[in-house]
Structure 1
Amino acid sequence: MDVEFLGGAREVGRSAILVDERLLLDYGLEPSTPPQYPVGSVDPDAVVVSHGHLDHAGAVPALLSGDSRPPIHWTPPTRELALTLARDTLKLHGGSYNCPFTEHNVKRVTGVSETHGYREPFEAAGFEITFYNAGHIPGSAHVLVDDGETRLLYTGDFHTDDQRLVAGTTARPDADVVICESTYADVEHEDRTTVEERFAESVKTTLWEGGTVVVPAFAIGRTQEMLMICEAHDVPCYVDGMGKQVTEMLRQYPGFLRDEAAFRRAKSHARFVTGDDGQRKRITDQKAAIVTTSGMLSGGPAMTYIPEIRANPTNKITMTGYQVAGTPGRDLVETGSAEIDGRMMPVSARVEQYDFSAHADSNGLRSLLDSYRDAQILVNHGDTCERFAEQLRADGYDATAPDIGEQVIVEG
């Protein structure tokens, strides 16, 4: 089995892995300026998408240009999320040279889409494929690829601990080779219950003092997790941005949620922002938490809320996710200022950061890999892939960290 890394190797973003030149696992983009896409040109016989985040599914419609019509295999929520992301990318970049697909390509996606549940084997490009719940976001999957001689497990992004939105992964299918993500290979997450309680107490204190809290959150997964946390701790909240649409959509797929009743309560508890910037400015006086995109302050309704609340030190901005270097969110955390709509703005509101990650930490990664001590481990999707592979080798694993464009021959 020949495995070629077209993206996501020794980096986070633009994940794409080609197996035997005919099966493509993920096809994402890195939302930098300009966006970065997988290397090389591909014309696969079939595509399998692990989950609906931009860095794994964001460039999929580009595979349907020209005469190409490869079937695209994914879970039902991943299909919906990928289409949502594609339409949003067109809205943001559709008129620019940097967008690799058109509205016509996006429409083609529905015609070649094939959805599958967990643990239901199917055929793609001559391989037997099976999805397993990866515990990352609704619909996220580990992908098992079997050619009859070699069993390759592509973990995609995964979490081993339960979140309110989804249960952690417990799947450990037999595999000869594991392509393992390593986003948080050098981090130990704080206990989730402790983080939740600290977040809720901080928000309630600010509201009691008469302030407003802006909660920047990724639209897919993180927004819904924060709404469930707000409901569980009785924190009044609004929701704005693409997260509204995703929240509505996920109601259609209760089987991919950990607790459908809790999800429904959270949706009912939150107030959905339906108006324009005028309404948003009025909401900033409501003494509530405002859960809104973008999670790194690089666009979305956060661009309206932050300028409105930034000057008052009673107010608060609670960052809920990883902040990539060079983003306004990272600048805000490190310097107390951020570039909003082209202007560098000092922020007097208090800024806090919470680890609500949906990725396994170093302990979670090790707990999964402990089931694969005799397998070949290929480390990807991280900023410290080489170091993690080296640590695994020191512990007796056959582990390497392939580079972008590298081909690796694997055997059963």
Structure 2
Amino acid sequence: MRVHFHGAAGEVTGSMHEVEAAGHRILLDCGLIQGSREAEARNVAPFGFDATAQDALVVSHAHIDHIGRIPLLVKRGFRGPIYAQGATADLMPIMLLDAASLQEGEAERANRHRPAGMPPIVPLYSKDDVVAAMKQVKPLPYDTCTTIAPGVDIAFRDAGHILGSSIVELWADGKKLVFSGDLGPVGTPILRDPTQIRQADVVLMESTYGDRNHRERMGTVHELGEIFATAAREKGNVLIPAFAVGRSQELLYWFAQYWDEWQLSKWQVFLDSPMAAKVMRVYDQHSELFDDAARRVWQDKPHPFKLPNLHVSESIEDSMAINRLEGGAIIIAGSGMANGGRIVHHLKHNLGRRNAHVVFVGYQAQGTMGRKLVDGAQWVRIHGKDYRVNAQRHTVGGLSAHADQSGLLAWYGAFENAPPLVLVHGEDKARETLAGEIFERSGRKVQLARPGEWIDA
């Protein structure tokens, strides 16, 4: 068994790893590279392998940095099956059609100002490409062993990161590889805890937060309540960049849980995301994946997805109307790193207001507007114009959908005999810190994956 690393090897987006085993080539994830314009430009480059030679694609979960180049893979000749957990399979077309729409829109806007005689900019892929790729998807349940090629078996285990997120176990050539995908923290609302696995011959583990521990979740929830109280006194708006899958649903869960305590009836709550509205329907279809606490909230509190003052803005006109409100609005909108989507328009209208609050509830990759704001930028450029940042900024770390350093150490520590470990999906500072912690505890020297490198398992 040999593993080649093609993405999320020294960075946190573009997840893609190729396994050669039993005479077959199996791809683990096919994610979009996100961040700066320079980083995103790499998405159009040729893959580091022949797409037509891949026998199967195995998807860990439906975040775009893990699935965002699947239509391009198919467009370039991949014809094999795409295996995904059932909820992931339902989320994938929602996510990818939205990605295609954004790319088509960006290409159209760029071509309006394209000098005469220059070739037009074309999107990475179209909605038709997404529809074609989704015909190859084969849903699988958790905890079932499936033969995906002669001599190659896989099983999905719950990763506790987003709905349908999976740890991948892969058996071939008498060896067992475990790919963590993205691991969620223990105690994440709505979701079950990540599955602990005991046996492996090699482990590929994410390391997004390998150098830090999150704030205790309930402290973070208390902080959210304080932000809302301050914004209410100041009569300002609260903007929350959030991914349509996972974070948006968790926020609504907490709104239901603390409806009275946070006096949320005084606010207008906007979920400004057509995609998030579709995602909520997938959540309702897969409530069997919820943990016990979530089932109680759904029964005993205001339904998180049906709060009495919740407005789900699906049309562009609805979204634009929100910007007429100078106060009293909680606006949840994508993208989660503020590098595109509707949140950018709300930032444009609110960043200059001293009584506005921008709340970051997830990881902000290098080069994104979210990262610039978190790092204290006083000016940001939006749609070709510079905007002064007067709004108050809050980084709320305890709502992360990723396991922190303690969680990663505990998950790897559950394996017997400290199997060989390769860290993926993390910036170098986080990976190096985590590798040092693991070596101190187990004596295991850890490899940091690099693009283009490979290991023999």
TM-score per shorter chain, which class? over 0.9
How many angstroms apart in 1 are the aligned matches of 2:252 and 2:189? 10
Offset, 1:288: 2.9
Deviation larger for 361-370 or 75-84: 75-84
State the partner residue of 2:115: none
Q: Equivalent of 1:303, from 319, 344, 349?
A: 344
How many angstroms apart in 2 are the aligned matches of 1:101 and 1:62? 6
Q: Equivalent of 1:366, from 409, 430, 439?
A: 409
Q: Equivalent of 1:25, from 21, 25, 28?
A: 28
Offset, 1:246: 1.8
State whether residues 390 and 400 of structure 1, in contact with CA within 8 Å, keep that contact through their aligned partners in structure 2: no
Offset, 1:393: 3.0
State the partner residue of 1:262: 297
Deviation larger for 47-56 or 58-67: 58-67
Cα deviation per residue 1:30-52 (whole Å; 9 max; x = unaligned)? 12423434534333111100000
Pair 1:343 & 2:385 matched: yes
How many angstroms apart in 2 are the aligned matches of 1:131 and 1:262? 27
Pair 1:225 & 2:254 matched: no
Please show how residues 49-198 of structure 1 align to structure 2 within 5 Å: 49-65=59-75, 68-94=78-104, 95=107, 99-126=123-150, 127-147=152-172, 149-198=174-223
State whether residues 134 and 155 of structure 1, in contact with CA within 8 Å, keep that contact through their aligned partners in structure 2: yes
Describe the shift of the 1:374–1:307 C-alpha distance in structure 2 as closer, same or farther (beyond 3 A): closer
TM-score (norm 1): 0.93
Offset, 1:99: 4.1
Pair 1:407 & 2:454 matched: yes
State the partner residue of 2:8: 8
State whether residues 339 and 345 of structure 1, in contact with CA within 8 Å, keep that contact through their aligned partners in structure 2: yes
State the partner residue of 1:206: 231
Letter in 2 for 1:250: Y
Letter in 2 for 1:29: L
**Structure 2 residue matching 1:36: 3-state secondary structure:** helix
How many angstroms apart in 1 are the aligned matches of 2:426 and 2:87? 25
State whether residues 7 and 39 of structure 1, in contact with CA within 8 Å, keep that contact through their aligned partners in structure 2: no
| Percent of residue pairs bearing the same amino acid type | 28
Q: Equivalent of 1:331, from 372, 386, 408?
A: 372
Gaps (5+ residues) in structure 2?
108-119
TM-score (norm 2): 0.84
How many angstroms apart in 2 are the aligned matches of 1:224 and 1:76? 18
Cα deviation per residue 1:255-300 (whole Å; 9 max; x = unaligned)? 2233246358110113212441442223x34513111112222222
Deviation larger for 180-189 or 219-228: 219-228
State whether residues 101 and 127 of structure 2, in contact with CA within 8 Å, keep that contact through their aligned partners in structure 1: no
How many angstroms apart in 2 are the aligned matches of 1:100 and 1:304? 23
Offset, 1:75: 1.0
Offset, 1:223: 1.0
Q: What is the alpha-carbon root mean square deviation over aligned residues?
A: 2.1
Offset, 1:68: 3.5
State whether residues 185 and 401 of structure 2, in contact with CA within 8 Å, keep that contact through their aligned partners in structure 1: no
How many angstroms apart in 1 are the aligned matches of 2:189 and 2:281? 17
State whether residues 178 and 375 of structure 1, in contact with CA within 8 Å, keep that contact through their aligned partners in structure 2: yes
Q: Equivalent of 1:272, from 312, 318, 339?
A: 312
Offset, 1:15: 0.9
Pair 1:39 & 2:48 matched: yes
Offset, 1:100: 4.0
Describe the shift of the 1:203–1:120 C-alpha distance in structure 2 as closer, same or farther (beyond 3 A): same
Offset, 1:211: 1.8
State the partner residue of 1:397: 444
State whether residues 144 and 154 of structure 1, in contact with CA within 8 Å, keep that contact through their aligned partners in structure 2: yes
Gaps (5+ residues) in structure 1?
none
State whether residues 133 and 171 of structure 1, in contact with CA within 8 Å, keep that contact through their aligned partners in structure 2: no
Count of paired positions = 409
How many angstroms apart in 2 are the aligned matches of 1:285 and 1:248? 31
State whether residues 29 and 35 of structure 1, in contact with CA within 8 Å, keep that contact through their aligned partners in structure 2: no
**Structure 2 residue matching 1:335: 3-state secondary structure:** coil
Offset, 1:398: 4.1
Offset, 1:253: 1.4
Q: Equivalent of 2:357, from 280, 294, 316?
A: 316
Describe the shift of the 1:98–1:143 C-alpha distance in structure 2 as closer, same or farther (beyond 3 A): farther
How many angstroms apart in 1 are the aligned matches of 2:349 and 2:125? 36
Offset, 1:357: 0.9
How many angstroms apart in 1 are the aligned matches of 2:124 and 2:385? 29
